[in-house]
């Protein structure tokens, strides 16, 4: 997952800047800029329209940890989400700007035999939105 938007210098009043809900400490969220890297060839940028607050988000907020995952530095929260594709990388063939999407919060490798067999949910390298070290989706925009 990426970090994104324009700097205050690049916008008139900061309204175009990508902002996100950052967990910065116990019971402390701050709305702050979220910089996204340029899109890679297999990436897409999504403008978020809806983001759910998951039980794990609440757990991180109250304890800064969930099971063995510990928040050691500020992290964007937000797990389940939906939005609209804004931009796609050069190798993305199944999405176009304007498509409405619901995002799978699990990020698998797509290289192991389980992923190739369509059982990506069992990927041994599975990562999740809003689970350290991956940022979540409670932002204006995210890359995936």
At residue 15, the pLDDT reads 53
Phi, psi (degrees; rounded to nearest 5) at 115: -65, -45
How far is the C-alpha of 86 from the C-alpha of 95, rounded, in Å? 10
pLDDT, the chain, mean: 88
* pTM score above 0.85: no
At residue 79, the pLDDT reads 84
Indicate the fold that domain 8-143 takes in CATH: Quinone Oxidoreductase; Chain A, domain 1 (3.90.180)
Enumerate the domain spans of the chain: 8-143
Task: Kindly tell me if the per-residue pLDDT of 53 is higher than 80.
Answer: yes
Q: For 41-64, what is the mean pLDDT?
A: 93
Q: pLDDT digits over 72-125, tens only?
A: 999 999 988 999 999 999 999 999 999 999 998 888 988 999 999 999 999 999
Q: With contact defined as beta carbons under 8 Å apart, do 79 and 118 qualify?
A: no
Alpha helices in the chain (DSSP H): 55-63, 113-116
């Amino acid at each position: 997952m990426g970090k994104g938007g324009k700097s205050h210098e690049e916008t008139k009043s900061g309204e175009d800047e990508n902002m996100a809900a950052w967990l910065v400490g116990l019971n402390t969220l701050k709305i702050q800029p979220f910089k996204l890297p340029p899109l890679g060839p297999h990436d897409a940028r999504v403008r978020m329209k809806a983001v759910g607050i998951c039980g794990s988000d609440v757990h991180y907020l109250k304890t800064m940890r969930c099971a063995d995952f510990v928040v050691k530095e500020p992290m964007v929260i937000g797990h389940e989400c939906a939005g609209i594709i804004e931009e796609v990388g050069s190798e993305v063939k199944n999405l176009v700007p304007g498509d409405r999407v619901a995002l799978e919060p699990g990020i698998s490798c797509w290289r192991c035999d389980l992923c190739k067999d369509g059982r990506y949910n069992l990927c041994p390298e599975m990562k999740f939105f809003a689970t350290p070290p991956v940022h979540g989706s409670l932002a204006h925009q995210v890359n995936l």
